Chains A and B, each alone.
Chain A
Amino acid sequence: ILNVEQSPQSLHVQEGDSTNFTCSFPSSNFYALHWYRWETAKSPEALFVMTLNGDEKKKGRISATLNTKEGYSYLYIKGSQPEDSATYLCAFITGTASKLTFGTGTRLQVTL
């Protein structure tokens, strides 16, 4: 059983704050890591697919980094806005299984 952990479990920040959270995954047999954003009552939406050690991806105010040797990825949000409020899920894929194993998610709430 693969263990994909995310921290913190939840986070409450003020508008304009920058924040980051962590996804930890097994460092062996790595193939890819996905980040998804899931707003309440909507579909989970893919943010990033990360495959190479040292990868850095950016989409607007959101960016992510990947360290496959130590088994972690960081997601950063710069200048949080209320519309960033969502649950952020990471999902891990091994080299031998064509399926995503999701972490438990970080629930972010951004208030004015």
Chain B
Amino acid sequence: DTEVTQTPKHLVMGMTNKKSLKCEQHMGHRAMYWYKQKAKKPPELMFVYSYEKLSINESVPSRFSPECPNSSLLNLHLHALQPEDSALYLCASSQVGQGDIQYFGAGTRLSVL
């Protein structure tokens, strides 16, 4: 099973809402990632978890709050987002090793109204 599952596929939220994005993998990978992709731009790294600990935060605003409850799950909690946060949010996982292939989910398309 090389699948990374993201839910929901689509999400519409207001600027005062609180919502969460979920990501799950059962490949035994110990590194998990959140990326943000705006239209016609490359994916940009937001966060990296390694062995369930946050190892990289790419200066992401605090309205995005990641959580890694266990080695298979990764959440991204959203609060007080802005319309410019509308984007495709991709989750990925890999073996822990610099340069390992990353396996991606299909993403959550987020619209902030």
A4 to B41, CA, bound (A): 12
Interface pair A89/B99, CB less than 8 Å apart = no
Q: Point out the residues of chain B lying under 8 angstroms from A104, CB to CB.
A: 40-42
Interface pair A103/B42, CB less than 8 Å apart = yes
Q: Which residue on B lies nearest to A93, using beta carbons?
A: B99
Interface pair B102/A43, CB less than 8 Å apart = no
B48 within 8 Å of A by Cβ? yes
**Chain A, 34-87, CB within 8 A of any chain B CB:** 34, 36, 41-46, 49, 51
B45 within 8 Å of A by Cβ? yes
Where chain B touches its partner, the secondary structure class is loop
Interface pair B99/A31, CB less than 8 Å apart = yes
B106 within 8 Å of A by Cβ? yes
Question: Most chain-A CB neighbours within 10 Å: which of B4, B101, B103?
Answer: B101
Q: Point out the residues of chain B lying under 8 angstroms from A34, CB to CB.
A: 99, 101-102
Interface pair B42/A105, CB less than 8 Å apart = yes
Interface pair B98/A100, CB less than 8 Å apart = no
A49 to B90, CA, bound (A): 20
Interface pair B106/A49, CB less than 8 Å apart = no
Which residue numbers of B lie inside 8 Å of A, CB to CB?
A: 4, 40-45, 48, 50, 55-56, 58, 90, 98-107
Which residue numbers of A lie inside 8 Å of B, CB to CB?
A: 4, 31-32, 34, 36, 41-46, 49, 51, 89, 93, 98-105
A sample of 11 inter-chain contacts (CB < 8 A) reads: A31-B99, A34-B101, A42-B106, A49-B99, A49-B100, A49-B101, A99-B48, A99-B58, A100-B45, A102-B42, A103-B42
